[in-house]
Amino acid sequence: MTTIFEAIGILRKVFDKFAGKEGDAKTLTKKELTELLKEQLGGAPPKQAEMDKFFKMLDDDGDGVVNFNEYVVLCAKNANKDLTFL
């Protein structure tokens, strides 16, 4: 397996660890995403309004949850920089 597929596998494993605790195992709710950010990145937006804005930015299709593709965009966009809310 190539390094890129190993990396994608790790992203999938982390996503799956948090997805589905509140519903669909193929998506992250706002609460699940907050838990993922706290555990994996050391923090989440400190204020609810900031988390709401951040979540809305990630929820590209506006369905109220973050799917794996939307989560991967978060990871890719922030691969070379710190998240502003940390």
Q: What does the domain layout of the chain look like in residue ranges? A: 3-77
Q: Tens digits of per-residue pLDDT, 12-37?
A: 999 999 999 998 999 999 999 999 99
When the pLDDT of each residue in the chain is averaged and rounded to a whole number, the result is 89
Q: Is 75 exposed, middle or buried (0-12, 13-18, 19+ CB in 10 A)?
A: middle
Question: What's the pTM?
Answer: 0.84
Q: Would the CA dihedral through 61, 25, 49, 57 be positive or negative?
A: negative
Q: Would the CA dihedral through 50, 69, 39, 17 be positive or negative?
A: positive
> Is domain 3-77 classified as CATH 1.10.238.10?
yes
Whole-number Å distance between alpha carbons of 52 and 42:
18
What does the pLDDT read at residue 42? Answer: 83
